[in-house]
C-alpha cells in the first residue's frame, strides 16, 4: 500500500504492477508528482524504468493498481487518449519520423493538439533556437542530440500538464548534454516532469525529488529541493 | 520481345495495384491479410454483376464496383483486422485466410466455378517500331504509374498521408502525440482495397476471372511485398515491375518457370537479408 495522502498531485500512481507476460516487471509502484515538480527516476539497466513510463503513458496496461492524472482515473486508458489529456511521453530510443521534415514532425503534433502550425513551430524554436535552421531537413538526417531535442520540442506542443522523458542524455556527447540540460532547466518549475536519467550529475543538479528503482520496485525516495543530494549517495543504491 | 516487355510491365502494374494494400497493412498494423485476395476477386465479380444488371460500360461499371466494395473493405478492417491488431501474427493469418475461403466458396455458389468472360474494352493497337502493341495494356501500365505518383503526393503532402508514413516508422510515437491511428489505418485499408479492385478489373479482360484469381495473385504479391520491403511504398512499386518483368521474361522461354522464378527471387532476398547482410555488417 502507498503511504502519504492526497494533496495537489498532477499524477498519483497507486500500487501499480505490470508484466509483459506472466512475470511482473513492476511491483506495487507508488509515486506522486506535484504541480511544477521535476522528478527523476534512477536505476540500473532492466530495473523497469521504461516499463513504468510506458505504463503511465498508456502504452502498456497495468495488471493492478491505479493511475490518477489531473484528477481523473486514467488506468488502462489508451496512449492517444492519455496524450490528449495532456500527458506527453518522449521515448528512450530517440526515434523521430525520419522520412518527414522537422517541420512536418512538429506539424503532426500541432495537428494532434489542434494548434496552428506556426505557433507550434514558434514554441519548438523557443525551446531550442537552432531548430529553426533544421526545419526543412528530413528528421532522419538529424544527429542523436538534435533528434532528442526535436522529440522534447514536439512533446512540449500543446503545453502538457505532465511530460515524461526517458533517458534524454543517453548516448550523447558532453556538449549536447549541456544543451539538453539547459532545456530541462528552462522547463523546470512550469512543466511538471518525470525524467528517467542515468547521468547522476544531471539528476542531482536538477531534481526536486528522486526515486530509485531496483528490480521493478521503488526502493528509495530522496527530497532534493535544495540540491543537497550528492551523486555518491545515489550510487549506493544502483 | 517488345511484346514480352510490355507483358512484363502489365503484370508489374497489376501486381503493384494489388500489393500496395498488402504492404501497407503489414507495415502499419503488422497483419498479413489474406482477405485482400477476397476483396480483389469480389471486386471483379461485382464489376461483372453491375455491368450485366445495369448494362453499363467498362469504366462506369468499374467505378460502381469500387464504390460498392468500400463498405465491405471497411467492415473487414473494422470487425476482423482491427481485433487482430497487436495479436500474434498467426492469428491474423488464420482469421483472414478463413475469410478468404468462406468468401471464395460464396462466389462459387453465386456465380459458379466457370471462368467469366470480360471483353477487352479497347481493341486499338499502337504501332511501335513496326510491332503492333495493345493500347489497353499501355493504359494499364499508365494507370499504375499515375496511381504511384498520386499516392506519393498523398503520403508526402497530406496530413492523413503523413500520419500513415509516421506510423509506418513509429506507431507508438504517433499514438503518444494523441493521434488515434486506427482511424487512419481504416482509411489506408480502404484505399488499398480500392486499388486492388481497380487492378483486378483492369487485369480481368486479359486474364481469366474465376473464383481463385485472388489466391493466385496473392502468392505473387507476398513476394513483391517481401522483395520491396514490407511497408515500403516505393519499394513495392519497383519490386512489382521487376518481378513482373522477370515473370514475362522467364515465361517466354519456359512458361512453367514464371511463378517459380518469382518465389526463388523472394527466397534469395530473404536469405540475403537475414543471413548474408548481417554478416557483411558485422565485419
Ligand atoms: N517488450 C518486452 N517484452 C518482455 N519483457 C520486456 C520487454 N521490455 C522490457 N522487458 C523486461 O522488463 C524488464 C524491465 O525493462 P525496462 O526496459 O523497463 O528497464 P529499464 O530500467 O528501462 O532499463 P534500461 O536502463 O536498459 O533502459 C527487463 O527485465 C526487460 O528484460
Ligand atoms: Mg529504459
B1-57 residue pLDDT tens: 788 889 999 999 999 999 999 998 888 888 899 999 999 999 999 999 999 999 999
Selecting from B166, B175, B177 the residue whose C-beta is nearest the C-beta of A100 gives B166
Name chain B contacts of A89, Cβ cutoff 8 Å: 176
pTM tops 0.90: no
Q: Which CATH number is associated with domain A9-95+161-235?
A: 3.40.50.300
Q: pLDDT, tens digit, for every residue of B68-88?
A: 999 999 999 999 998 888 778
Distances (CA, A) of A207 to A2, A227, A231, B91, B121: 22, 7, 12, 46, 73
pLDDT score of B108 more than 90 = yes
The pLDDT of residue B241: 96
Beta bridge partners of A90: A165
Mutational test site, ligand 1, from A21, A24, A44, A46, max ligand atoms within 8 Å of CB: A46
| Cα–Cα nearest to B104, from B222, B246, B213 | B213
B215 vs B108: CA distance, rounded Å: 14
Q: What is the strand order of the sheet A9-19 is part of?
A: A24-34, A9-19, A64-69, A72-73
- Cβ separation B177–A83 shorter than 8 A: yes
Does the Cβ of A25 fall within 6 Å of ligand 1? yes
The pLDDT of residue A98: 93
B164 to chain A, any CB pair closer than 8 A? The answer is: no
A106 vs A109: CA distance, rounded Å: 5
ipTM: 0.92
Beta bridge partners of B147: none
- Cβ separation B176–A83 shorter than 8 A: yes
Give the model's confidence band at A234: pLDDT under 50 very low, under 70 low, under 90 confident, else very high. confident
Find all residues with CB under 8 Å of A52, minimum gap 6, and list them.
Answer: A16, A18, A26, A29, A41, A213
Mutational test site, ligand 1, from A29, A40, A50, A195, max ligand atoms within 8 Å of CB: A50
Distance from CA of B87 to the nearest CA of A (A): 13
For residue A162, report the distance from its CA to the centre of ligand 2, in Å.
Answer: 19
Selecting from B159, B173, B181 the residue whose C-beta is nearest the C-beta of A91 gives B173
Write the residue with the smallest CA distance to atom 9 of ligand 1. A51
The pLDDT of residue A107: 95
Mean pLDDT, range B220-237, rounded to an integer: 91
A89 vs A57: CA distance, rounded Å: 6
Supply B8's cell numbers: 512484363
- A120-134, A182-196, B188-202: range with lowest mean pLDDT: A120-134
Cβ B262 vs Cβ B228: under 8 Å = no
B232 vs A98: CA distance, rounded Å: 14
The pLDDT of residue B27: 85
Higher pLDDT, B126 or A153: A153
The pLDDT of residue B67: 97
| Ligand 1 atom closest to the CA of A48, numbered from 1 | 18
**Quick count: other Cβ atoms within 10 Å of Cβ B56?**
16
pLDDT score of B222 more than 60 = yes
Mean pLDDT, range B145-171, rounded to an integer: 93
A-chain residue closest to B168, CA distance? A97
Mean pLDDT, range B97-126, rounded to an integer: 92
| Ligand 1 atom closest to the CA of A196, numbered from 1 | 22
Q: pLDDT, tens digit, for every residue of A39-90?
A: 999 999 999 999 999 999 999 999 999 999 999 999 999 999 999 999 999 9
B47 vs B106: CA distance, rounded Å: 16
The pLDDT of residue A163: 97
The pLDDT of residue A7: 64
Instruction: List the domain boundaries for chain A.
Output: 9-95+161-235
Write the residue with the smallest CA distance to atom 5 of ligand 1. A20
Name chain A contacts of B174, Cβ cutoff 8 Å: 108
Give the model's confidence band at B230: pLDDT under 50 very low, under 70 low, under 90 confident, else very high. confident
Catalogue all structural domains in chain B, each as residue range(s) with its CATH number. 2-282 (1.10.3470)
pLDDT score of B131 more than 90 = no
Average pLDDT, chain B: 92
Mean pLDDT, range B230-238, rounded to an integer: 90
Sequential DSSP letters for chain A: ---S--SSEEEEEEEEEEESSSSEEEEEEEEEEETT-EEEEEE-TTSSHHHHHHHHHTSS--SEEEEEETTEE-TT--HHHHHHTTEEEE-TT----TTSBHHHHHHHHHHHHT--HHHHHHHHHHH-TTHHHHTTSBGGGS-HHHHHHHHHHHHHTT--SEEEEE-TTTT--HHHHHHHHHHHHHHTTTSEEEEE---HHHHHHH-SEEEEEETTEEEEEEE-TTS---HHHHHTT-
A57 to chain B, any CB pair closer than 8 A? The answer is: yes
Selecting from B170, B175, B178 the residue whose C-beta is nearest the C-beta of A97 gives B170
pLDDT score of B238 more than 80 = yes
Average pLDDT, chain A: 93
pLDDT score of A6 more than 60 = no
Amino acid at each position: 500500500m502507498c503511504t502519504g495522502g492526497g494533496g495537489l498531485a498532477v499524477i498519483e500512481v497507486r500500487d501499480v504492477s505490470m508484466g509483459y507476460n506472466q512475470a511482473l516487471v513492476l511491483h506495487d509502484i507508488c509515486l506522486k508528482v506535484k504541480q511544477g515538480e521535476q522528478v527523476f527516476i534512477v536505476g540500473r539497466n532492466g530495473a523497469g524504468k521504461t516499463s513504468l513510463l510506458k505504463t503511465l503513458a498508456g502504452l502498456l496496461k497495468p495488471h493492478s493498481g491505479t493511475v490518477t492524472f489531473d484528477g481523473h482515473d486514467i488506468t488502462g486508458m489508451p496512449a492517444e487518449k492519455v496524450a490528449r489529456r495532456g500527458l506527453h511521453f518522449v521515448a528512450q530510443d530517440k526515434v523521430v519520423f525520419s522520412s518527414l521534415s522537422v517541420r512536418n514532425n512538429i506539424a503532426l503534433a500541432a495537428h494532434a493538439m489542434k494548434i496552428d502550425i506556426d505557433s507550434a513551430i514558434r514554441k519548438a524554436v523557443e525551446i531550442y533556437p537552432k531548430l529553426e535552421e533544421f526545419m526543412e531537413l528530413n528528421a532522419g538526417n538529424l544527429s542523436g542530440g538534435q533528434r532528442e531535442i526535436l522529440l522534447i520540442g514536439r512533446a512540449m506542443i500543446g503545453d502538457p500538464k505532465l511530460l515524461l522523458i526517458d533517458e534524454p542524455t543517453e548516448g550523447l556527447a558532453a556538449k549536447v548534454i549541456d544543451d539538453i540540460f539547459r532545456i530541462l532547466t528552462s522547463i523546470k518549475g512550469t512543466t511538471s516532469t518525470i525524467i528517467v536519467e542515468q547521468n547522476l550529475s544531471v539528476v542531482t543538479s536538477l531534481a526536486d525529488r528522486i526515486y530509485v528503482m531496483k528490480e521493478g520496485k521503488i526502493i528509495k525516495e530522496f527530497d532534493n529541493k535544495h540540491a543537497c543530494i550528492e551523486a555518491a549517495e545515489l550510487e549506493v543504491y544502483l | 520481345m517488345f511484346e514480352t516487355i510490355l507483358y512484363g510491365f502489365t503484370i508489374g502494374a497489376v501486381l503493384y495495384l494489388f500489393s500496395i494494400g498488402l504492404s501497407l497493412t503489414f507495415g502499419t498494423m503488422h497483419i498479413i491479410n489474406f482477405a485482400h485476395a477476397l476483396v480483389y476477386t469480389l471486386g471483379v465479380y461485382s464489376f461483372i454483376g453491375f455491368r450485366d444488371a445495369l448494362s453499363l460500360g467498362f469504366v462506369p461499371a468499374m467505378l460502381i464496383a469500387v464504390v460498392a466494395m468500400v463498405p465491405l473493405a471497411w467492415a473487414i478492417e473494422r470487425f476482423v483486422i482491427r481485433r487482430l491488431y497487436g495479436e500474434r501474427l498467426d492469428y491474423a493469418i488464420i482469421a483472414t485466410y478463413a475469410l478468404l475461403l468462406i468468401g471464395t466458396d460464396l462466389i462459387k455458389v453465386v456465380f459458379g466455378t466457370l471462368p467469366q468472360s470480360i471483353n477487352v474494352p479497347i481493341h486499338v493497337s499502337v504501332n511501335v517500331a513496326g510491332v503492333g502493341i495493345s493500347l489497353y495494356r499501355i493504359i494499364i501500365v499508365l494507370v499504375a504509374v499515375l496511381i504511384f505518383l498520386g499516392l506519393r503526393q498523398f503520403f508526402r503532402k497530406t496530413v492523413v498521408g503523413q500520419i500513415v508514413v509516421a506510423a509506418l516508422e513509429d506507431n507508438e510515437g504517433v499514438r503518444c502525440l494523441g493521434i488515434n491511428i486506427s482511424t487512419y489505418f481504416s482509411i489506408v485499408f480502404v484505399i488499398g482495397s480500392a486499388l486492388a479492385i481497380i487492378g483486378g478489373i483492369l487485369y480481368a479482360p486479359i486474364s481469366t476471372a474465376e473464383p481463385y484469381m485472388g489466391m493466385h495473385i496473392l502468392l505473387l504479391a507476398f513476394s513483391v511485398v517481401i522483395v520491396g520491403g514490407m511497408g515500403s511504398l516505393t519499394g513495392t512499386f519497383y519490386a512489382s515491375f521487376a518481378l513482373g518483368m522477370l515473370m514475362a521474361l522467364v515465361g517466354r522461354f519456359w512458361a512453367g518457370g514464371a511463378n517459380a522464378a518469382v518465389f526463388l527471387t523472394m527466397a534469395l532476398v530473404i536469405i540475403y537479408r537475414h543471413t548474408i547482410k548481417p554478416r557483411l555488417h558485422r565485419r
